[in-house]
Amino acid sequence: MSSQKKTTGRSWTWFHRFGSPEYFYRFAERWGPRSAVVTLLLFLTGLYWGLVIAPPDYQMGNSYRIIFIHVPAAWMSMFTYVIMAVAAGTGLIWRMKMGHIVAKASAPLGAAFTFCALVTGSLWGKPTWGTYWVWDARLTSELVLLFLYFGYIALANAIEDQKSANQAAGVLALVGLINLPIIHYSVEWWNTLHQGSTVSKLGRPSIDTRMLIPLLIMFAAFNFYYVTTLFNRVRCELVDQERRTKWVKELI
């Protein structure tokens, strides 16, 4: 029982440690450059493997290669929203400033990923479906996700009082979570043009291994890019919001 309490205590210590603006800044400052190096290596490897080494698709030829950008961007559009909503919820429940800062820093990144997913999906749709856009369930729900990001950003910046802005934007982020299962299961719930899952299938993915490996590398590259950019954005946000504190004055 005592060892269990010690483990729980360490978990909460870790949690509250990252809730400290100064500690998070130092952590991001240390690991941000390292994450950037990993990001660059993964992008170079994934793009070369996907665009040069991977074979053409037997149906779509070389046009399928856009998946190495489209699929990771679509994944990150939802993953980033989860991070944003969890961070905002942490800020609302435990009144942790860092939660709202991480959520605010994540929102533009998530919007960029979503926009990239929509654009690359449209470019892929033209040779595949014969049109750039249809009001397909998957495409429409992804567009709603982009509007949710825009709504969060607008709400967080429209209210002058920072506390009120964080609360209002945080509630919107949590409510918007309902859209994520709609995006994910839309191809199963409705008859859509968008193809079903090929990578996340239980058992054996219905994609050639020579295509799957660079796709997974690009997944990792997008994740590390998010972490790297998030660290940089959070550091800038912390310097702005904490500019009157002693540790920021010493830093400057």
2 pLDDT above the threshold of 90 = no
| Model pLDDT, residue 62 | 87
8 pLDDT above the threshold of 80 = no
Give per-residue pLDDT as tens, 91-145: 999 999 999 999 999 999 999 999 999 999 999 888 877 888 888 888 899 999 9
Domain ranges for the chain: 32-52+64-251
Three-state SS sequence of the chain: CHHHHHHHHHHHHHHHHHCCHHHHHHHHHHHHHHHHHHHHHHHHHHHHHHHHHCCCECCCECHHHHHHHHHHHHHHHHHHHHHHHHHHHHHHHHCCHHHHHHHHHHHHHHHHHHHHHHHHHHHHHHHHHCCCCCCCHHHHHHHHHHHHHHHHHHHHHHCCCHHHHHHHHHHHHHHHHHHHHHHHHHHHHCCCCCCCCCCCCCCCCCCCHHHHHHHHHHHHHHHHHHHHHHHHHHHHHHHHHCCCCHHHHHHC
| Model pLDDT, residue 61 | 82
- Predicted TM-score (pTM) of this structure: 0.89
| Model pLDDT, residue 124 | 86
Read off the pLDDT band of 87 (50, 70, 90): very high
